């Protein structure tokens, strides 16, 4: 898809609901996810923008992990692709039912032991990171074989050097739709860079919003369902600053 790339060319929404991915959008992707600190201007920028408009971070990370990285207390985050929600530094609520919890137990019991793969247990989902492994093709093959034997009701979602298993029915598209429904007078502005953000782009593009079409923005190269594109995190910061 051809998309606009300059921050000043993207539309500004009068009453936006800002939906922001974290890794690759507000922070550079790090070999160790625990070291993925936000762009230096992002914390102050989000605090300022959130005083004017609703801002939600939508991430595959747990809300508690975001809180350790993103020093913006009380900012609302939707974690693990919509399976939990809470304020950074505050209480976090889970949206998983009992059946989904049992399915995740079955996945934990059958985790593959692959050298170089780092397992991140998010509670509501499990991510297997393979960035930096010696033989990527071999590792991906082993992970695909594991994913093929997951119990019915679970799905494997592939991202940038990671595969994540989670219960069916939860993704950023569903989360974005529900957040948009909570703010019917606002127009969603979704910014993200990875495969999981495409679910939100598609969901918001398909939905009707009273005050106008959603603004969906892909960060970086690659095929996308988003209407617009920004080159990198610096461009994201420049675009968000326009809302001040």
- Alpha-carbon distance of 99 to 97, in angstroms, equals 6
Q: Which of 91, 16, 89 is nearest to 55 (CA)?
A: 16
The answer to whether 193 is a known catalytic residue is no
Say how far apart CA 138 and CA 117 lie, in whole Å: 12
Q: Given 21, 23, 65, 197, which residue is catalytic?
A: 21
How far apart (Å, rounded) are the C-alpha atoms in residues 224 and 211? Answer: 24
- Give the CA radius of gyration of the chain: 18
Q: What does DSSP assign to residue 151?
A: P
Helix, strand, coil abundance in the chain, percent, nearest 5: 35, 25, 45
Q: Known catalytic residues?
A: 21
């Amino acid at each position: 898809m051809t998309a606009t790339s300059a921050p000043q060319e993207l539309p500004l929404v009068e009453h936006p609901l800002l939906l922001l991915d974290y890794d690759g959008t507000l922070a550079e992707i790090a070999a160790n996810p625990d070291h993925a600190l936000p762009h230096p201007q992002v914390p102050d920028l989000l605090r300022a923008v959130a005083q004017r408009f609703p801002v939600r971070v939508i991430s595959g990370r747990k809300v508690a992990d975001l809180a350790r990285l993103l020093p913006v207390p009380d900012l609302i985050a939707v974690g693990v692709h919509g399976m939990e929600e809470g304020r950074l530094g505050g209480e976090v609520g889970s949206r998983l039912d009992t059946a989904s919890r049992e399915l995740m137990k079955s996945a934990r019991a059958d985790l593959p032991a692959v050298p170089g793969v780092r397992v991140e247990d998010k509670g509501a989902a499990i991510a297997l990171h393979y960035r930096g492994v010696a033989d990527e093709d071999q590792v991906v093959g082993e992970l695909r074989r594991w994913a093929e034997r997951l119990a019915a009701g679970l799905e494997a979602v592939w991202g940038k050097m990671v595969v994540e298993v989670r219960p069916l029915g939860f993704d950023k598209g569903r989360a974005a739709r529900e957040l948009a429904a909570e703010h019917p007078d606002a127009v969603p502005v979704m910014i993200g860079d990875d495969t999981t953000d495409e679910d939100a782009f598609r969901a918001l593009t398909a939905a009707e919003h009273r005050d106008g079409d959603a603004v969906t923005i892909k960060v970086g190269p690659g095929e996308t369902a988003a209407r617009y594109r920004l080159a990198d995190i610096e461009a994201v910061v420049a675009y968000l600053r326009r809302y001040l």
